[in-house]
């Protein structure tokens, strides 16, 4: 936890490096409590209140860390000289460092005391599989069969791929008000397929969602996604197909492409396998840049980051490998590879130690247990430990060995 305290302090001071920032962000997305702590130190008024509250708590009730004790005594001495707002503001970076150590110590103590942490074998962490939820217009949420791999949205009904009935819809293409919005979502460790009302096919990776109408009426076909989704669109020149994701819009006539638009990632990546698409900034972003758009052709990838779209030639195989049932890490940054594992094996992740600067390479069947993937990644000088705390399993990345 000392490492996280240091990164948080550097973040507050504005002296954090790009690599350290990536490490801090990777830590933040592993747990809502981590994101809350990062959010609190980014808000000066809340941080000041936390500091003042902290000094009202008996020190020994939290930790017996001698370094923390010395830091608090030094800070209390400074506070006795002046308790004005201006002095607190000037002392904020130092006081925040004290608070960060305290928070992380408290968090660690809570985890140790309230959950029995037990190391477990990576071989016991099994692969993900067919898991998804279908949400109907009335809010009914259906836990889809793990024995099936996909669903078909037809005229007035939804079935599994094998034809067995699943749900009935009150469809009337002639009456737009009768067309309802549906949602298919996968949890961590889940994947599922779907055939849309027009015959287009989609594949959802873990922790992903697609919202779509029960029937495509009007002059265009529009769906909205979050997470990672692969599309195989049925061509219809009279009715363009549009995909909305965070910050961008894709318009196609008939093509195959993959979109990775996870909310906890800074980049949205659209990889074109076949055909041609127009990738544009979402109008909701406003400003003149809302009209920015690019054309992607086969083998190209569009990346949206900080409101800007760029494109490049890529090896599409590594971006659609998940659909084919494999992990393909082709010189992928370590944290990006670990993020994929956390979604597929439904793991929390924490980082300890220094990560190697080199990227990782691996090509592994996603049906294999976690141990097989970790063994491949250990060739990049990484070491891992898997523990269970309560009902959650955690992958601890021990860093370069």
Question: Which of the two residues, 400 and 11, has the higher pLDDT score?
Answer: 11
Residues 104 and 144 occupy one common structural domain: no
- Mark whether 331 and 313 lie in a shared domain: no
Q: Which is nearest to 99 in space by CA: 34, 9, 30?
A: 9
Q: How far is it, in rounded angstroms, from Cα 33 to Cα 130?
A: 29
Of the candidates 303, 17, 260, the one whose C-alpha atom is nearest the C-alpha of residue 25 is 17
DSSP string over 112-140: HHHS-EEEE-GGGS---EE--EEE-TTS-
167 and 204 in a single domain? The answer is: yes
Domain boundary among 295, 318, 341: 318
On whether both 286 and 364 belong to a single domain, the answer is no
Average pLDDT for residues 85-90, to the nearest whole number?
48
Given a contact cutoff of 8 angstroms between Cβ atoms, the answer to whether 106 and 62 are in contact is yes
Domain boundary among 318, 346, 372: 318
In a domain, 369, yes or no: yes
Does residue 58 form part of some domain? yes
Domain boundary among 58, 79, 114: 114
Same domain, 265 and 331: no
Mean pLDDT of all residues belonging to the chain? 80
Residues 331, 287 share a domain: no
Has residue 123 been placed in a domain?
no
pLDDT digits (tens, 9 = 90+) for 181-203: 999 999 999 999 999 999 999 99
**Distance separating alpha carbons of residues 194 and 204, to the nearest angstrom:** 8
- What are the backbone angles phi and psi of residue 202, rounded to the nearest 5°? -135, 150
Q: Which domain holds residue 347?
A: 325-400
- pLDDT at residue 341 greater than cutoff 50: yes
In a domain, 122, yes or no: no
Mind listing the pLDDT tens digit for each residue in 101-123? Answer: 555 555 555 444 445 667 787 77
Instruction: Tell me: do 275 and 332 sit in the same domain.
Output: no
**pLDDT tens digit string along 157-178?**
999 999 999 998 865 545 555 6
Please measure the distance between the N-terminal and C-terminal CA atoms of the chain and give it in whole angstroms: 19
Residue 289 has pLDDT above 50, yes or no: no
Q: Let me know if residue 120 belongs to a domain.
A: no
- Residue 376 predicted with pLDDT over 50: yes
Query: DSSP letter string over 42-75?
Result: TSHHHHHHHHHHHHTS-GGGT---HHHHHHHHHH
| Cα distances (Å, whole numbers) of residue 376 to 162, 166, 189, 330, 365 | 37, 40, 20, 13, 11
pLDDT digits (tens, 9 = 90+) for 3-46: 777 777 777 777 788 778 778 887 777 766 677 677 766 665 55
pLDDT of 56 strictly over 60:
no
Pairing of strands 181-185, 133-135: antiparallel
Task: Note whether 137 and 285 are same-domain residues.
Answer: yes
Q: How confident is the model at residue 65 (pLDDT cuts 50, 70, 90)?
A: very low
* Token pair listed for 11: 């973040």
- More confident site: 211 or 68: 211
- The answer to whether the beta carbons of residues 349 and 191 sit under 8 Å apart is no
Beta strands in 161-220 (DSSP E): 165-168, 181-185, 190-195, 201-204, 209-213
Q: Please check whether residues 303 and 336 belong to one and the same domain.
A: no
Lowest mean pLDDT among 42-51, 127-136, 219-228: 42-51
Question: Hey, which residues does 159 pair with through a beta bridge?
Answer: 152, 165
Least confident of 246-250, 271-275, 288-292, 310-314: 288-292
Query: How much is the pLDDT for 77?
Result: 57
Confidence band for 133, pLDDT divided at 50, 70 and 90:
very high
Q: Residue 361 phi/psi, 5° resolution? A: -135, 130
Q: What does the pLDDT read at residue 45?
A: 54
The per-residue pLDDT for 40 is 64
Same domain, 282 and 351: no
C-beta of residue 176 within 8 angstroms of C-beta of residue 217: yes
Q: What pLDDT, on the 0 to 100 scale, is given for residue 62?
A: 42
Among candidate residues 69, 48, 67, 49, the one with its CA nearest the CA of residue 58: 69
> Is the residue at 119 inside a domain?
no
Q: How far apart are CA 130 and CA 288, in angstroms?
A: 43
Residues 190 and 291 in one domain: yes
What is the predicted pLDDT for the residue at 85? 46
Q: What is the CATH number of the domain that holds 263?
A: 2.60.120.1440
Verify that 158 and 176 share a domain, yes or no.
Answer: yes
- Number of compact structural domains in the chain: 3
Residue 68 domain-assigned?
Answer: yes
Calculate the dihedral angle through the C-alpha atoms of 358, 363, 369, 374, rounding to the nearest 10 degrees.
-20
Residue 163 inside a domain? The answer is: yes
Q: Residue 392 sits in a domain of what CATH number?
A: 3.55.50.30
Q: What is the pLDDT of residues 350-359, one digit of tens each?
A: 888 787 777 8
**Residue 346 DSSP symbol:** T
pLDDT band at 64 (very low <50, low <70, confident <90, very high): very low
pLDDT at 98 over 70: no
Q: pTM for the complete prediction?
A: 0.70
Q: Per residue in 318-338, pLDDT tens?
A: 999 999 999 999 989 989 999
């Amino acid at each position: 936890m000392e490492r996280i305290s240091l990164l948080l302090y550097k973040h507050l001071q504005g002296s954090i490096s790009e690599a350290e920032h990536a490490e801090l962000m990777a830590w933040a997305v592993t747990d809502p409590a981590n994101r809350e702590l990062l959010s609190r130190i980014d808000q000066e008024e809340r941080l000041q209140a936390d500091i003042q509250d902290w000094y009202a708590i008996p020190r020994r009730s939290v930790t017996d860390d001698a370094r923390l004790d010395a830091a608090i005594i030094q800070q209390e001495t400074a506070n006795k000289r002046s308790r004005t707002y201006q002095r607190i503001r000037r002392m904020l970076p130092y006081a925040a460092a004290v608070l960060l150590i305290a928070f992380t110590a408290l968090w660690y103590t809570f985890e140790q005391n309230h959950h029995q942490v037990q190391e477990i074998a990576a071989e016991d962490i099994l692969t993900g599989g067919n898991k998804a939820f279908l949400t109907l217009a009335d809010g009914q949420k259906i836990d889809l069969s793990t024995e099936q791999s996909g669903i078909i949205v037809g005229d007035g009904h939804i079935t599994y791929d094998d034809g067995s009935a699943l749900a009935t819809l009150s469809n009337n293409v002639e009456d737009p008000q009768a067309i309802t919005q549906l949602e298919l979502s996968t949890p961590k460790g889940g994947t599922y397929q779907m055939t849309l009302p027009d015959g287009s096919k989609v594949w959802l990776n873990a922790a992903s969602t697609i919202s779509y109408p029960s029937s495509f009426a009007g002059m265009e076909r529009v769906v909205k996604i979050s997470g990672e989704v692969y599309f195989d669109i049925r061509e219809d020149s009279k009715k363009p197909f549009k995909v909305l994701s965070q910050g961008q819009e894709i318009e196609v006539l008939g093509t195959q492409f993959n979109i990775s638009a996870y909310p906890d990632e800074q980049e949205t990546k659209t990889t074109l396998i076949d055909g041609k698409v127009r990738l544009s900034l979402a109008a909701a972003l406003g400003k003149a840049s809302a009209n920015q758009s690019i054309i992607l052709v086969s083998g190209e990838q569009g990346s949206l980051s900080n409101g800007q779209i760029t494109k490049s030639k890529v090896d599409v195989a590594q971006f659609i490998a998940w659909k084919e049932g494999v992990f393909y890490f082709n010189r992928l940054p370590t944290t990006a590879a670990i993020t994929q594992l956390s979604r597929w094996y439904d793991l929390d992740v924490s980082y300890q130690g220094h990560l190697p600067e080199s990227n990782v390479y691996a090509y592994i069947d996603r049906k294999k247990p976690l141990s097989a993937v970790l063994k491949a990644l250990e060739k990049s000088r990484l070491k891992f430990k898997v523990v269970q705390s309560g009902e959650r399993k955690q992958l601890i990345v021990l860093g370069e060995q």
